[in-house]
Structure 1
Amino acid sequence: MMVVEERELVVPGQLIAKGDYSLHGGVFRDGEEIRASKLGLVDKRKHGVRVIPLEGRYIPKAGDKVIGVVTDSYYAGWLLDINSPYPGNLTVSSLLQRKVDLSEVNIDKYLGIGDVVFARIQDVDELMKVRLEVTREERGKITGGQLVEILPSRIPRVIGRKGSMISVLEEIGECELLVGQNGRVVVISDDLERRSKVVEALFKIEREAHISGLTDRVWKFLERKE
C-alpha cells in the first residue's frame, strides 16, 4: 500500500509504502515499511517503487545511453567527459563497430577534442572504469544540433511515461532529440526558432519536474507563438 502520492517530494527516512514492493533505488526496507533514502520524487512502477533524486552528478551504469564530449585521446581511442566524476573510455573499434589496424590508421580522422558522441555504457568495473560502445541504436559522433545539459535526475521527466514527454517535444517542437541518461540532450532542428523553444522547454522541465501536469504545460508552452 502506497502512503504517498505519485511524484510526491519526499525526504530521507520518510515512509513511502508498506508491503511487498520491489526496490529500485533511493529507498530501503524497514521491516514491512519502505522508506526514502534520499531527497527526491516518488516513482511507482508496477510492483516496484523508487525515489528519483533531485540533485547529484551522474553515476555511470551499464546499459545507460550517454552523451559525451571528447577531452583526450590515446593510441587506441578517446576519453570522454560524460558529466560524471568518472570519464568514459571509447576505443576506435567500439566506435566503428569493427576491428581496426591501429598501425595504419590515424584515429584523429574519426574524433577530435570537443566532438560530441552518443554512446552506450558497455561496462563499469569495480574501480569505476567506464567502457563505452556504439551500437546500431546509437549515433556515435553527433554533427549539428544544440547540446543542452540539465540535472540527470530530470531525464526521466524529459522522456515521460512510455515516451509521452519526448513525443510532445519532438512533435510540437518539430525536432529530433537525442537523450542521454547522464543529463545531456541534443536538440536537432534546422529551424533555429523552434530549436530555441525546445531548449527553453527542457529547462522548464528541469525547473518544474516535481509539479504534476507537466506534460500539458509543456505542450501549451510549445504551442504558444510568441
Structure 2
Amino acid sequence: MLGTLVEINLPAGSEQACFALGFAAIAEVQACLSRFDPGSDVAHFNAAAAGTHLRLRAHSLRVLRAALALQNASLGLFDISQGSGPLGWRVEQDRLLKLEHAVTLNLGGIAKGFAVDQGVKALRQAGLAWASVNAGGDLRVFGPQTVALKLRQEQGGGVCDFGQLADGAFATSHFSDSSRSRLSGGGVTRHVSVAAPRCIWADALTKIVAASGDTAHPLLARLGASAWLH
C-alpha cells in the first residue's frame, strides 16, 4: 500500500478485525491521494485542464491544507507541485482549483505520514491500548510499549540501533539522485530522521530538513519535533 510495505503491530490476542480496521483506514487515504490511483482526487487533478474546479474528499482537503501551510511556513522548501510551480493550484473552501495546465501534484512527501496517523486513529477508536503502524519507514506508536528504532545503513547495508519510540511518530528518508526520495534542487545526498507527535509532520519535515540542511529549522520547534542528519 502507498507504494511501500505497511505493517501493523497489535497486542497478542488482538482480533483479526482490528488489523482490518487499521488497513482499511490507510486504504481510504490511498484512494484519495495516490497519484497512481486513477480514481483519486490527485489523479483527477493531474489529468484535468487548467480552469478545472474539483470537489475534494475530506482526507484530501486536510492534507492539501496541511501541505499549503508547510509550503508557506517553510518559504517554499516544502512544495508538492510539479510542472509549473506552487502558483499553479489553489484550495478554496472544499474545492481544488487548477490554475495552470502543466501543474501536477505529488503528495508522496506527506500523504504516507497522514495515512499512518489515520491507521492509528482507527486502532485507538477500536479500544486498543497499544499499537504501531509502519509504512516504509514512517512509524507511529501509541500506548505504554516502546518500539525499537533501527536505521538502514545506506553505504554498507544492514541496520543500526538508533533508539526507542513511545507515544509518537518517527520518519526517516534517504535523499539522493538514485534514491526514491529526491530534492527538487538535485545533487544533494542526505539521510534525515525526524521525531514528532504526529506522523504527517514527521514525514513532511524530513523534506524540509533535507532541503535546508538545518536540524534546528524553526518549524521543528513549532511542531514539537526533533531532527537528525546521518
TM over 0.5: no
Structure with bigger helix share is: 2
Q: Which has the larger radius of gyration?
A: 1
Q: Scaled by the length of structure 2, what TM-score is found?
A: 0.26
Q: If the length of structure 1 is used for normalisation, what is the TM-score?
A: 0.26
